[in-house]
Amino acid sequence: MTLASYRDQFAAFTDNGGRAGPAWLPALRRRAFDRFAATGFPTTRDEDWHYTSVSPIAESTFRLVRPAASSVDLSAIAPYLINPSWSRLVFVNGRFSRELSTFAELPAEVDVTTLDDALRTDAAYLESQLGEHARIDHNPFAALNTAFVTDGAVVRIPADCVVEKPIHVLWVSDAAAADAIVCPRVLVTAGRHSRVSIIESFVGLAPERSFTNSVTEIRLDDGARVDHHRIQRESTDAFHVGTVQATQRRNSVFHSFSFAAGARLSRANIYTTLAEPGCEARLNGLYLLSGRQHCDHQTYVHHAAELCVSREMYKGILDDESHGVFNGKVLVDAVAQKTDGKQTNHTLLLSDRARVDTKPQLEIFADDVRCTHGATVGRLDETALFYLKSRGIHRDTARALLTYAFAAEALGEIEIDELRDALQALAFERYNDSVLG
Amino acid sequence: MMLEIKDLHASVSDTEILKGITLSVASGSVHAIMGPNGSGKSTLAQVVAGHPSYEVTGGDILLDGESILELEPDERAQKGIFLAFQYPVEIPGVTNAYFLRSAYNELRKARGQEEIDPMEFLDLMTEKLKLVDMDPAMVHRAVNAGFSGGEKKRNEILQMAVLEPKLAILDETDSGLDIDALRVVAEGVNKLRRPDRSTIVVTHYQRLLNYVVPDFVHVLVDGRIARSGGKELALELEERGYDWVLEGAVA
């Protein structure tokens, strides 16, 4: 039934020109929509979606947001900026806001634009990159995003360029996003030996039932390093699905951090392909859930070349009746000898009714590799609690401090001091305010 | 008597570890508890501090004449008991300064005193850091996270210096320390000695007692005190080994 609604909206979108653009774009959208229409939304019979039912998304009708005058001003987004002097692109309900954005601290040679602008000025480049990394064949949500792709951020870092300050891409939604689907799109290409940090935030300013379906594509050329941070703080009525997909060339380094505290139902796909020898990938994450929130992370590290290293550490804190899912897939091709892979997932349960599903999935076709995985699920350590109490600290405060410490350790992987401090402060408030009053 | 332990029995998962310990510790005195591995000496330290894994099945522990058995570990700390852990716990993300100030303020609250302000507390900490020869930068690092064995033990003594307990129990504080670190830790303990403060030193080896000289030495064997004496008992143990006491205990 709702597939029909997407079909109608796609037809209307196409009739309106889908916005003017290069000739290849309508064809890309059409291919993507056909792909989506052929598979529909995944079900729990699909191995990749076994623990997460997206039926609340599949059975709802979401409309595309029409451009409207936005009431979101700087004071509304100020709490989410981390550092207001950093360059940022702000999108409100999927539309770029020039007033809220700034490009203050960028080196001249760095090219940061909106997808809309890049389609006009750099169409050939976009044709070669858009949809090249986040493939639509096995990812219906990426297909849906691509079908409706309109605006987003394009970051091009030339060879040997080191961008000192992070670039912040902030997706905010407000009351106008009620019952709407927003399809954020980001493309990052990092040239040889360049270096850049990207922060991508998803923020819900109003308690609306909206659906964010994002795709971020990242290409790392030889020796490039990209740190990508995904900060998901949607409203707890919202639905959120996001894919980050990186392609790594020789000796490149990709660090990803996925923080999730929002949305009623969320899924983050963090995928990277180590396409050439000597690459490193670090995928870390932290999810803090309460109420009836459901949060699923699927990571996929494809070791397609020899001598690559991958490290993953995901941690979750689950309270009330929340449900956390971690599925870590590692594929080691036959050619990927000397692969060194390690994956861990630790869950802290604060409630008897919370639920966790953790599933490592290692497929190894090379014979000279070292791959390990480990998972723990548990409660606060009694000895650690005793340690704090033996210093005179009350039981409730001790529990709060140790819960915070569990989160803080995961956040310690973030190398941008201000971002790490901001998220640690957020976690501290979340678990300590109630007891410290 | 500051601390009186009377015929104390304690078990962990139905196995009796302490089988009737009686011990009195007067104000200002230093008692050493020695014994072979598995004799129950660390258990005794943890039971006095209130570790939840141990069940007291008989006897009593009195502090200043009042039983503390029903008190939570934090309430015992508020009454002046401090346990320096054999394996101090790491608390990532929580700085030493924040942790100690929280503890310090809880103790003050329990005594009906006002909370200390952060700047004033930093001055207090800086003062106490000198006692254990610790780098002032340590106060801004997360509690014990990534600390070496020696740094963790110094940090325990720093906590003790800040919290100023009535009764300090050092649980194998000497284990894993090289001789220089041992000396620093022992000097810290000695500087904290006062007529109204008692210390119980739990140790396997005599060497710490060269620096922290005890008034009394008790040897635990199989959950009971097999022998008590003055500081010379520790030297005799060092010379003759625990077998000597074990034979005595059997006889």
Task: Encode pLDDT of A355-388 as tens digits.
Answer: 999 999 999 999 999 999 999 999 999 999 999 9
- The pLDDT tens digits for B23-33 are 999 999 999 99
Total domains in chain A come to 2
Measured in whole angstroms, the distance separating CA A169 from the mean position of its chain's CA atoms is: 12
Q: Length of chain B, please? A: 251
Q: Which residue in B has a C-alpha nearest to residue A421's C-alpha?
A: B93
The alpha carbon of residue A424 is apart from the nearest alpha carbon of chain B, in Å, by 8
DSSP string, A152-220: -EEEEE-TT-B--S-EEEEEEE-GGGTTEEE--EEEEEE-TT-EEEEEEEEEESS----EEEEEEEEEE
Chain A contacts of B52, Cβ < 8 Å? 382, 386
Q: Is the residue at A310 inside a domain? A: no
User: A172 lies in which domain range?
Assistant: 2-276
The domain boundary, picked from A254, A276, A298, lies at A276
Closest CA relative to residue B219, chosen from B44, B8, B76: B44
Once rounded to an integer, what is the mean pLDDT over residues A84-110? 92
The alpha carbon of residue B10 is apart from the nearest alpha carbon of chain A, in Å, by 17
- For chains A and B, CB pairs below 8 A equal 85
The alpha carbon of residue A85 is apart from the nearest alpha carbon of chain B, in Å, by 26
* DSSP symbol at A308: -
- In a shared domain, residues A125 and A255: yes
Whether the CB of A365 is below 8 Å from some CB of chain B: the reply is no
> What is the model's pLDDT at position B251?
42
> What is the model's pLDDT at position B87?
93
Q: Residue B191: what are its φ and ψ, rounded to 5°?
A: -65, -20
Once rounded to an integer, what is the mean pLDDT over residues A217-245? 98
- In a shared domain, residues A397 and A248: no
Chain B contacts of A313, Cβ < 8 Å? none
Once rounded to an integer, what is the mean pLDDT over residues B153-166? 94
Q: What percent of chain A has pLDDT over 90?
A: 87
Q: From the candidates A379, A386, A406, which should be mutated to test the interface with B, based on the most B CB atoms within 10 A?
A: A386
Q: Is the residue at A308 inside a domain? A: no
Chain A contacts of B51, Cβ < 8 Å? 386
Q: Name the pLDDT band for B239 (thresholds 50, 70, 90).
A: confident
The alpha carbon of residue A68 is apart from the nearest alpha carbon of chain B, in Å, by 43
| B89·A384 Cβ contact <8 A | yes
Query: Comparing A20-24, A57-61, A206-210, which segment has the lowest mean pLDDT?
Result: A20-24
Chain A contacts of B108, Cβ < 8 Å? none
Separation CA A173–CA A166 (nearest Å): 22
Q: Which residue in A has a C-alpha nearest to residue B85's C-alpha?
A: A387
Q: Is the residue at A337 inside a domain? A: no
The pLDDT of residue A435 is above 60: no
At A67, which amino acid appears? Answer: P
- In a shared domain, residues A260 and A400: no
Q: Length of chain A, please? A: 437
Measured in whole angstroms, the distance separating CA B64 from the mean position of its chain's CA atoms is: 18
Q: Is the residue at A299 inside a domain? A: no
The alpha carbon of residue A407 is apart from the nearest alpha carbon of chain B, in Å, by 8
Q: What percent of chain B has pLDDT over 90?
A: 69
> What is the model's pLDDT at position B172?
92
> What is the model's pLDDT at position B248?
62
In three-state secondary structure terms, A102 is: strand
For residue B188, what are its two tokens?
Answer: 């810290």
- The pLDDT tens digits for A298-326 are 999 999 999 999 999 999 999 999 999 99
How would you classify the pairing of strands A195-204 and A225-233? parallel
Separation CA B41–CA B224 (nearest Å): 9
For residue B80, what are its two tokens?
Answer: 């002046």
- Select the residue of A389, A390, A404 nearest B93 (Cβ to Cβ): A404
* DSSP symbol at B87: S
Measured in whole angstroms, the distance separating CA A413 from the mean position of its chain's CA atoms is: 16
Q: What percent of chain A has pLDDT over 70?
A: 97
Once rounded to an integer, what is the mean pLDDT over residues B140-158? 92
The pLDDT of residue A197 is above 80: yes
Interface predicted TM-score (ipTM): 0.95
| B93·A405 Cβ contact <8 A | yes
Burial letters A307-321, b for 16+ CB under 10 A, else e: bbbbbbbbbbbbbeb
> What is the model's pLDDT at position A20?
65
The alpha carbon of residue A423 is apart from the nearest alpha carbon of chain B, in Å, by 11
- Select the residue of B81, B92, B100 nearest A405 (Cβ to Cβ): B92
Separation CA B173–CA B151 (nearest Å): 11
Chain A contacts of B102, Cβ < 8 Å? 393, 397, 401
Domains recognised in chain B with CATH numbers = 3-250 (3.40.50.300)
| B94·A401 Cβ contact <8 A | yes
| B73·A390 Cβ contact <8 A | yes
- In a shared domain, residues A391 and A254: no
Measured in whole angstroms, the distance separating CA A278 from the mean position of its chain's CA atoms is: 25
Q: Is the residue at A92 inside a domain? A: yes
C-alpha neighbours within 13 Å on the C-beta side of residue A44: 8
How many CB atoms sit inside 10 A of residue A31's CB? 15
Closest CA relative to residue B76, chosen from B165, B198, B208, B151: B165
The domain boundary, picked from A238, A255, A276, lies at A276
Whether the CB of A402 is below 8 Å from some CB of chain B: the reply is yes
Once rounded to an integer, what is the mean pLDDT over residues A128-147? 93
Chain B contacts of A389, Cβ < 8 Å? 50, 72-74, 77
In three-state secondary structure terms, B154 is: helix
The pLDDT of residue B133 is above 90: no
The domain boundary, picked from A252, A276, A300, lies at A276
Q: Name the pLDDT band for A434 (thresholds 50, 70, 90).
A: low
Q: Name the pLDDT band for A437 (thresholds 50, 70, 90).
A: very low
Closest CA relative to residue A262, chosen from A418, A426, A400: A426
Separation CA A362–CA A50 (nearest Å): 17
How many CB atoms sit inside 10 A of residue A68's CB? 10
- In a shared domain, residues A86 and A207: yes
Whether the CB of B77 is below 8 Å from some CB of chain A: the reply is yes
Contact A181, A171 (CB under 8 A): no
- In a shared domain, residues A272 and A384: no
Chain B contacts of A393, Cβ < 8 Å? 74, 102-103, 106
Residue in the block written with tokens 């207090």: B124
> What is the model's pLDDT at position A299?
98
> What is the model's pLDDT at position B177?
86
